Amino acid sequence: MKMLDFIYWQPNEIAFHVGSYGVRWYGLCWLTGLTLGFFLMQWLYKKHKYPDEKFEPLFLYVFIGVLVGARLGHCIFYQPDYFLTSGKHFVEMFLPIKFLDGGGWKFIGYEGLASHGGVVGMLVGLYMYIRKYKMPTWVVLDFMGICSGITATFIRLGNLMNSEIIGKQTDVPWAFIFANVDQAPRHPGQLYESLFYLFTFIVILLIYRKHPEKVGTGFYFGLCLTMIFTFRFLIEYTKEIQEAFEAGLPIDMGQILSIPLIALGVWAMITSKKRIK
């Protein structure tokens, strides 16, 4: 097939400028996803009659947990040979800078965020929030299960705008040519994930509208984890490996990290019947 039969993908990573600072599509997608999740979570708190003072601190715990977890997850799971072998590189794990070979540093933002690490960070943040504000654990986790799909949708759209986490070469007619990477038609894995996460969000929201009484059982939390990370495990077969060391593994790092989250999701759903009031 000719190159014109495929989708030529070369977006400008900068959406607009504020003075000399360029606001990237990636950041806007993260912001959009978190904002939609915020308002949906706020709606759930009000619908289930939890006071505003219980809800207001939640966003900070989740935001910091996701950001720190996603960053550390990328550095530790995917690039330990870089970040854990030098004092300067170790500092780069936590600060959005890069030390230059000739001395000095430059601001680069957080280049590299892992979704599995973000989930772990979110759970740690929720644990701290629940302990401090005395919220029912399974209620908060179910609320998060209902909301998370829409946030994940926009995060993967951000990856698409960055032309990162690319798929393997293919000749399917909807293949993308990521011009910033090479001229080979590839699976748009980011788009596959984004569309499935939107589907997951819609399915869970529709089930919730019919069965709000399941909130607090862990069912929605488990369903979200199971759907998202089962798909994540399968879609990895269409992606290029992110780091060279994965080539020697029977399954890649994304699949390895998905397995315990799938198991947690299945367990939460199976045991949810025990928690029905």
Tell me: is residue 156 an annotated ligand-binding position: yes
Rounded CA separation 149/202 (Å): 8
Q: Using the 8-state DSSP alphabet, how is residue 113 labeled?
A: -
Q: Please give the share of the chain, as a percent, with pLDDT higher than 90.
A: 60
Tell me the pLDDT of the chain averaged across its residues: 90
Check whether 84 has a pLDDT greater than 80.
yes
Residue 48 burial (CB count, 10 A): 14
pLDDT value, residue 3 = 47
Instruction: Report yes or no: 155 and 116 within 8 Å, Cβ to Cβ.
Output: no
pLDDT digits (tens, 9 = 90+) for 223-242: 999 999 999 999 999 998 87
Rounded CA separation 147/233 (Å): 21
In the chain, the N- to C-terminal Cα span, in Å, equals 59
Residue 127 burial (CB count, 10 A): 14
Rounded CA separation 266/269 (Å): 5
Pairing assessment for the beta strands 185-186 and 105-107 based on DSSP bridges: unpaired
Helices 58-73 + 25-47 axis angle, to 10: 140
Least Cα distance to 266 among 237, 229, 235, 232 occurs for: 229
Instruction: Report yes or no: 147 and 227 within 8 Å, Cβ to Cβ.
Output: no
Q: Which amino acid is at 107?
A: F
Check whether 4 has a pLDDT greater than 60.
no
pLDDT digits (tens, 9 = 90+) for 6-46: 899 999 888 888 887 788 888 899 899 999 999 999 999 99
Q: Please give the share of the chain, as a percent, with pLDDT higher than 70.
A: 97
Least Cα distance to 210 among 274, 141, 146, 135 occurs for: 146
Count how many Cα atoms sit within 13 Å of the Cα of residue 234 in the half-sphere of its side chain: 9
Residues 6+ apart with CB under 8 A from 213: 276
Least Cα distance to 239 among 180, 152, 173, 160 occurs for: 160
107: phi then psi, degrees, rounded to nearest 5: -80, 125
